[in-house]
Structure 1
Amino acid sequence: MDSKKSLPLELIYELVNALPIHHRWAAQRVSSEFDNLVFERQADLIKIILQKANVSTAQAYITTMVQLANANENIVFLTEFTPTQHAFCSEAVTLGNRFVNYANTKQSIVDHSIGMAVGRLLPHVCLDVSSFSQISPQQLADGASANVQFVGCYSGGQLLVSDLALFGALQNSVVFCPSDAFSAERATQLATTHNGITYIRISPYPTPALYGGGDHDKFRIGSFINRHQSNRDKIVLVGIGAAVNLCEQAYRQLLNEKIPVTVLDMFSLKLTGEIYVSSLVSILLRVGRVVTVEEGVTPFCLPLASSILSFISEKKLQVSVRSLHTCGMCVLSK
């Protein structure tokens, strides 16, 4: 290894320890290769880590939650999953008696979590997204004012989105849809500090990194992220969760065809604050054509498109739904 061109190995490990949680976890998987790699800048180190070890939003959530729980003994983790079902849950076992497994008792897990919240605990409830269809909406509505962090993880099969519609309909709820590991880390931190019911939708499948440490302040409760924009854009692509990566792929392909587009990441399904709503609506109306890309498909259920339409209706503006697609896409235009 050329010492004139490479960062000292000691500095490399020091930089790794300063990386965000999920980057450190990824770095452990490639640390054995550090001796044979050359890093001239810190950016080179981060780039090689991200290239070699994409991290799932589920892993980022668990790692962040466990770190927060180690600093706050009031945090408890309730789940229907076992470490044998989902490897990412194995890290939560380190919480000891604050890791509680509920097998086939989904009704009880909600009641118990609400009771824990009343008792000043901070419960995190992680279920399969399909499980929420088996829980009474009234149960969740009763706990809408409770400080419970619900987490939905999908694991193969048809990707339903009814969970997003359910939590989005709850009054004063906060719904996060992280698109990569870093945004999942931020969603977990924000949900844990928020006083009220929150929902985070995660995936056990590795996702490409879209954000890094410099994007920390972009993620706030009730916000969206404008990833690409120009004055010549022909269409707005609005993605949610893992679908943001699909929008990124479409962006690059269209750019090669000299068709510029705006790409928005709806980190929060429900925007809060006039500044976010006004900013989103102004972008949509400026371009005039919008394609929303849902993370999954549930018949007659398009939570992202419905959310976008509700923001526009708040401004008493009119748009037309031009087409609906079974793949979870909706085309709007003014």
Structure 2
Amino acid sequence: MEKATRDAFGETLLELGRKNDKIVALSADLQDSTKAILFQKEFPERFINTGIAEQDLIGIAAGYALEGFIPYVSSFASFITTRPFDMIRMLACYNNINIKIVATHTGVTVGEDGGSAQMLEDIAIMRALPNMVVLCPADAVETQKMVDGIAEYNGPVYLRLARAKYPVVTDEEKAFEIGKGQILRDGGDVTLVGTGLMVSKALEAAEILAGEGIEARVVNMSSIKPIDRDLLVKCAKETGKIVTLEEHQVIGGLGGAVCEVLSQEYPVPVKIIGVENRFGQSGKPDELLEEYGLDSKSIVGKVKVFIGG
């Protein structure tokens, strides 16, 4: 089964609103695309469309949070991370305010919308901020758990979602916990640490590698900040080499976070697979993944070169 993480967000936000009247939703005129429109239709009195005014989006949400509400604000990642950055930094993070920032349309799989809408720097921007939690679910099932779970967490959260449909690769019965990763496939030759869509690509690559006698462990690192330091050290000790995979720039994203941990706690060789200092471009999602070396075939080739296989 494949399902877009933005769709799971809209459906779960609606259910959350039915259970908790402290949940409010705000959008910068993109609620139809982020799927927050489902909440708007049922709870118009708890929904605000700020128009194309992202600074106001964060400012109003901060006011709601200070009055005891739990605001979920949503827009495209390319707009919600850069245009109101000062508001996010000073209102949400400096004051440690309970705002949930939900960014859709991340990565090159946004597709035909082109490079201006394909946000590839948002993890770097958000994880640099004190107090900010940064999450990127592997699939729609994990998205549902995150949207529910962050309502119970008191503080700012950045939730990175996508337009494209992802395969469901996580277990519905497995609980999500901020700061924890999960081994989805075991192996002793190398560890593939992925986030978002790249978790399913890592699993595809691991299957191909297994056919060539290379056993790759696959880790879903959906909590990028805080990151699961213990799991990373365990994998480094047991497999020796680490490959990170993300639909994001190789600078400042998941790969950087992994290297920061391992360089201090258990240094091993790390290969970062992501977008190599380029902007996105218009095209179909699968074509763009291949163009940027993020498809499973490209991953296999890079892993083999890295481990000398």
Q: Report the TM-score when normalising by structure 1.
A: 0.74
Q: Report the TM-score when normalising by structure 2.
A: 0.80
Q: Rate the CA distance shift 1:90–1:168 in 2: closer, same or farther, 3 A.
A: same
Q: CA deviation at 1:102?
A: 2.1
Q: CA deviation at 1:87?
A: 7.4
Check whether the contact 2:134–2:226 (CA below 8 A) recurs between aligned residues: no
Q: Deviations over 1:67-106 (max 9, x none)?
A: 11111111111112445x5273431222212121122201
Q: Rate the CA distance shift 1:267–1:138 in 2: closer, same or farther, 3 A.
A: same
Check whether the contact 1:92–1:99 (CA below 8 A) recurs between aligned residues: yes
Q: 1:245 aligns with which of 192, 200, 213?
A: 200
Could you say which structure has the greater relative contact order, defined with CA pairs below 8 angstroms and 6 or more residues apart?
Answer: 2
Aligned length: 270
* 1:86 aligned partner, one-letter code: S
Q: 1:221 aligns with which of 171, 178, 195?
A: 178
Aligned to 2:82: 133
Query: Matched residues in 2 for 1:321 and 1:87: separation?
Result: 34
5+ residue gaps, structure 1, are 1-49
Q: Is 1:116 the counterpart of 2:68 in the alignment? A: no
Check whether the contact 2:241–2:268 (CA below 8 A) recurs between aligned residues: no
Q: CA deviation at 1:301?
A: 2.5
Flag the structure with larger Rg: 1
Q: Rate the CA distance shift 1:242–1:303 in 2: closer, same or farther, 3 A.
A: same
- How high is the sequence identity, in percent, across the aligned residues? 24
Aligned to 2:100: 149
Q: Rate the CA distance shift 1:324–1:187 in 2: closer, same or farther, 3 A.
A: closer
The equivalences for 1:26-37 within 5 A come to: none
Q: 1:311 aligns with which of 237, 261, 264?
A: 261
Q: Is 1:173 the counterpart of 2:132 in the alignment? A: yes
Q: CA deviation at 1:205?
A: 2.1
Q: CA deviation at 1:212?
A: 3.4
SS of the equivalent of 1:251 reads helix
**Further displaced range: 55-64 or 155-164:** 155-164
Q: CA deviation at 1:255?
A: 1.3
Query: Matched residues in 1 for 2:271 and 2:199: separation?
Result: 21
Aligned to 1:78: 26
